[in-house]
Chains A and B, each alone.
Chain A
Amino acid sequence: MTSEHAGTLITGVIGADTHIVGNRILGRALETAGFTVVQLGALTPAKEFVDAAIETNADAILVSSLYGQGELDCRGFRDLCTEAGLEDILIYVGGYLVVGDQPWDEVEQRFLDMGFNRVFPPGTRPDDVLGPLSDDIKKRRGDDEV
């Protein structure tokens, strides 16, 4: 695979969450932007994100959660990646991550502390993700070569 390749991404909706529509729109937009996207769909256990990332040598995992239980489902996600030998993989999370009216910066900090590289609030457009994603992948590949 040449370094020109935009990157391989794993997307899916984690846990017992069936909200698939936004995730599919995101997947389509990422494909249009030139990424290779493995779309795992709804109801995806954390382990299946990691398994898919190992086999496909993915650059990033994009986790969606829209039913308020994201904090529970995502706990230990970074550790799972590290255990699987993916210690430097990019992991993003976005959606309605918590229940109730909690200040966004607190929520964001909580997920950053859990090891996610970026955390996206409700209402994020696919275009908002493309820029940071490309930058992060380039940076990660640069780090790899060192």
Chain B
Amino acid sequence: MTLALLIDFGSTYTKLRAIDVQAAEIIATAQGPSTATTDITVGLDAALDDLRGQLGKISDFRYRLASSSAAGGLRMITVGLVPDLTAKAARLAALGAGAKVAGTYSFELTSGDMAEFIAAEPDILLLSGGTDGGNHKVIEHNAEMIAASGLACPVVVAGNRSAADTVAGILSSAGIRAIIAENVMPRHLELNIEPAREAIRQVFIEHIVHAKGIDRAQENFDAVLMPTPAAVLQGAQLLSDGTLARPGLGPLLVVDIGGATTDVHSVCDGLPCDSGVIYHGLAEPYAKRTVEGDLGMRHTARNIVAEVGVDVIADNAELEKKQVEALLERTERDVDWLPDTENERRFDRTLARAATLISVTRHAGHHETVYSAHGPVTLQRGKDLNQVETIIGTGGVLVHSENAQAILSAALAGDDAPLALRPRSAKIMLDKDYALYACGLLGSVAPEDALRLGLNMLHQGEDDHGACTA
């Protein structure tokens, strides 16, 4: 039997999955507290003991791979020139690399911006600006500002290639490690984020893992390959694309509703579905990740209610406004709170539906009608998710809900946001065993086995909840 050990150093828990690679099954799971601030090994050792207990005579693991979002995850600041162009491209690159983006900045940086940079304590900074051969003054100015700020974190430089050497020189002479990658937007509206993503991942492996103290546990694993959100995105892409030997699920969407944030991943080209529609603006990534830092089930539940209105939440949850308010206070007081009564479960479900609706609407592209002399013309900005055939849900509220279907169907196109290009109908699946990150990690060494693992785990989720289109 070939075994794989896949570790996720999470923000709260270190989660372990033991995989039987041939059978493509999770054969044991365990978790311990992530105590990254003191010593990451404590929680990992506890979890490993637990896992060994379950596996009995533990055989050797062929692969021991880890991802991490411990110790605050990978915190990044991104800088570009024009907000809708290189600044957006840089942000998409950082999100795709699995980062928590603490801020996105445009144009010339100011001393006030630099104070914000220092306060945000980023692990990596991504500096872009200008097409190749285009504007170089702004990225050079920004490099000077960063060099003079006292900021010490590594900087990935992915802007105008004509300015790359100058920019790297300015940063290096201030003792800042500068890593040059290809431009995130080499030509106008052409997105090129893979090289920057890979550069970020390399810096993460070489520096951040050590800086966060995760390498203290390194006798227990071979490598920390990437931040956990990047592993989820890679798992999603493998499940969508499949391999040469086995087809995948096709275009898909992942909705991950957490306590503080909601992540949405889409894997599809997102091009206009109707021939009369004209695409406008920056191209978007085939595998796209967005994070809604203001939408979560506990720490940030109040934002969800504020966004849709307390009356709507009360109506949908069949509760009085007073009850909604009381439950909201409860979620803030006790972020580990789990619903117990039918009322509380309806409240949680309503919140999760709203988080799904808002986060998918923000992730999706939009139609816009322009009235020309020849009649109305439809423009599309962002990705059309109409082609999405599968929606995969994950995160505590979905995994523990008795009616995940009712929550995830809020991702589908509807009257609540008619111009948002959401999926029209899709099969709904659940990642109950938290297998997506495992699939992404294993996929980097054994893609065929990882694909079978992912498909197996999702189909088990499907059996319990039933697939349907809404």
Contacts and interface: CB of A to CB of B under 8 A. Distances in A.
A55 B135 contact: yes
B134 A8 contact: yes
Q: Which of A16, A41, A57 has the most CB of B within 10 A?
A: A57
Nearest to B162: A1
Given A18-B377, A42-B278, A8 B133 contact: yes
B81 interface: yes
Nearest to B282: A51
Interface residues of B, number: 27
A110 B84 CA distance: 31
Nearest to B278: A43
Interface string B80-108: 01101110000000000000000000000
Q: Which of A41, A42, A55, A58 has the most CB of B within 10 A?
A: A55
A35 interface: no
B377 A56 contact: no
A57 B373 contact: no
A54 B84 CA distance: 12
Nearest to B136: A57
A137 interface: no
B341 interface: no
Given A36-B133, A38-B188, A67-B372, A55 B377 contact: no
Contacts of B246: none
A12 to B, nearest CB: 11
B318 to A, nearest CB: 45
Main secondary structure of the interface of A (DSSP, over half): loop
A41 B280 CA distance: 10
Nearest to A18: B372
Contacts of B180: none
B162 A51 contact: no
B322 interface: no
Contacts of A42: 278
B360 to A, nearest CB: 26
Interface in A18-64: 18, 36, 38, 41-43, 48, 51-52, 54-58
Contacts of A16: 370-373, 377
B185 interface: yes
A41 B185 CA distance: 19
Given A51-B84, A51-B85, A56 B370 contact: no
B7 to A, nearest CB: 41
A133 to B, nearest CB: 19
Contacts of A52: 85, 188-189
B130 interface: yes
Contacts of B280: 43, 48
Contacts of B379: 43
B8 to A, nearest CB: 38
Interface residues of A, number: 21
Interface in B186-200: 187-189
Main secondary structure of the interface of B (DSSP, over half): loop
Interface in B58-91: 81-82, 84-86
Interface string B114-147: 0000000000000001110111100000000000
Contacts of B374: 18
B373 A17 contact: yes
Nearest to B132: A56
B161 to A, nearest CB: 11
Contacts of A67: 372-373
B135 A43 contact: no
A56 B162 CA distance: 12
A57 B134 contact: yes
B373 A56 contact: no
Given A16-B370, A17-B373, A18-B377, A55 B133 contact: no
B373 A55 contact: no
Contact of B185 (A18, A36, A48, A55): A55
B427 to A, nearest CB: 36
Given A57-B135, A67-B373, A51 B82 contact: yes
A23 B377 CA distance: 18
Contacts of B81: 54-55
Interface string A1-12: 100000010000
A42 B379 CA distance: 11
Contacts of A48: 280-281
Nearest to A17: B372
B174 to A, nearest CB: 25
A67 B375 CA distance: 13
A125 B323 CA distance: 72
Given A48-B280, A54-B135, 20 more contacts: A1-B162, A8-B133, A16-B371, A16-B377, A18-B377, A42-B278, A43-B377, A51-B82, A51-B84, A51-B85, A52-B189, A54-B82, A54-B85, A55-B81, A55-B86, A55-B185, A56-B188, A57-B135, A67-B372, A69-B373
26 contacts: A1-B162, A16-B370, A16-B377, A17-B372, A18-B372, A18-B373, A18-B377, A36-B133, A38-B187, A42-B278, A43-B278, A43-B280, A43-B379, A48-B280, A48-B281, A52-B188, A54-B82, A54-B85, A55-B85, A55-B135, A56-B134, A57-B130, A57-B133, A57-B134, A68-B373, A69-B373
Which 8 residue pairs are nearest across A and B when measured between Cβ atoms?
A: A56-B134, A57-B135, A16-B372, A57-B134, A38-B188, A51-B82, A67-B373, A56-B131
